[in-house]
A and B are shown apart, each in its own frame.
Chain A
Amino acid sequence: MIYLTLFIEFFKIGLFSIGGGMATVPFLMELTTKYTWFSTEELANMIAISESTPGPIGINMATFAGFHTAGIPGALTATFALVSPALVIIIIIAKFMANFSDNKYVKSAFYGIRPMIAALIGFAVWQIVGITFADTSNGTITLHYSAVIIGLIIFILTQIKPLKKIHPIIWIIVGAASGIFFQL
């Protein structure tokens, strides 16, 4: 039963991806090795589209992954499963724990979780960078030089102070345009 498996997997993602939409990426990456639902490259496409459409990125990705796996019912299942743990937890916090984020144990747990989440996202990004800028399909590593140069330019530009405020969607449009122009 694909819907039950989808529900369980995305419920787990919803329960453990802490600190924003990007935190779902390491878990989705794990799904590419566990099931044949989607490949790493398809996941990279999903992230690309989720970043360039309205709505929270985490929700967009769950909907996309669910749709890719099992059509519209799959999309609804994955999205519903992703938000349901938080729905319950937030209601409990709103009702009983007004100063939840000041709690000593919560703070201590996050002192450990934050660097770990950063590392896990870093690892997932590293894998996506790998398939975006290099081709390893025939046993040797071939770099896509034009992609590397465009990626580096965009990365350096986004790190310059006055340009940091530019909305990500602008960089995505720049990426799409240079992809078409340079035939990436």
Chain B
Amino acid sequence: MKKLWELYSTFFRIGGLTFGGGMAMLPMLKREVVIKKKWVTDEEVLDIYAIGQCTPGIIAVNTSTYIGYQQAGIGGAVCGTLGMVSPSVIIICLIASILNQFMGEPTVLHALAGIRVAVCALMLGTVITLARAGIKDKLGLILFLAGFLLATFSPIPTIILVICAAGVGIFVNVRREKNRK
């Protein structure tokens, strides 16, 4: 019981005190689970991040699930996950209900419009980083362009596009290996 509470409260702290999730969370995560709690080593954190990046879901949450499971089984996984998402749920529900009351205020509207502009700039940066990291060769470029065009001009659901891209990746790599042999 004590362990489960420790997992919940540790990940609650990490979730509640870091802005941005994912990579932005790494320094805080290391301080809490590597240095303070000694649950995992530096290298293990990077391994867990690597798994988090190639599994569905939110990387920060996946990390808390993984460490929670290692420490205390399925109960630990659930407690770690709940700890990580609890601050978000509380803070966002508060902000959303407060915001509903102030939505008519001109200052709030101007600030939000300004934040949207900044977020667009930040998201463009994210897309560039992701494209640079993801497009390794001609096939990557073709998939990127095809994905953009299909998302723009076709009604194909996003999920189908992701599944097809995974299929293309596996098909091409398996064939390359056969050709090598």
Contact = CB atoms under 8 A, between A and B. Distances in A.
Q: Do the two chains bind?
A: yes
Interface of A: 12, 14-22, 24-27, 30, 44-45, 47-60, 63-64, 67-68, 72, 75-76, 79, 82-83, 85-87, 89-91, 93-95, 100-101, 104-123, 125, 128-129, 132-133, 147, 150-152, 154-155, 158-159, 167-169, 171-172, 174-180, 182-184
Interface residues of B, number: 96
A86 B118 contact: no
B74 A91 contact: yes
B87 to A, nearest CB: 5
A82 B162 contact: no
Interface in B132-165: 133-136, 139-141, 143-148, 151-152, 157-159, 161-165
Given A51-B119, A167-B20, A168-B19, A122 B127 contact: yes
B10 interface: no
Contacts of B139: 112
- Nearest 3 pairs of A and B residues by beta carbon: A179-B114, A112-B169, A175-B118
Contacts of B170: 105, 108-109, 112
A50 B92 contact: yes
B93 A52 contact: no
A93 to B, nearest CB: 6
Contacts of B91: 53-55, 60
Interface of B: 15-22, 24-25, 47, 50-51, 53-62, 65-66, 69-70, 74, 77-78, 81, 84-85, 87-89, 91-93, 95-97, 99, 107, 110-128, 130-131, 133-136, 139-141, 143-148, 151-152, 157-159, 161-170, 172-174
Contacts of B19: 51-54, 167-169
Contacts of B18: 54-55
B179 to A, nearest CB: 14
Given A118-B135, A129-B124, A154-B118, 9 more contacts: A53-B91, A83-B57, A86-B61, A90-B77, A94-B65, A107-B173, A111-B169, A112-B166, A120-B162
Contacts of B93: 63, 67, 72, 75
A176 B111 contact: yes
28 contacts: A17-B58, A20-B58, A30-B157, A53-B88, A54-B91, A56-B60, A56-B85, A59-B85, A76-B89, A79-B88, A83-B85, A85-B56, A87-B78, A113-B162, A113-B169, A115-B144, A117-B162, A119-B144, A120-B151, A122-B144, A123-B151, A123-B152, A125-B124, A151-B120, A154-B118, A158-B125, A176-B114, A176-B115
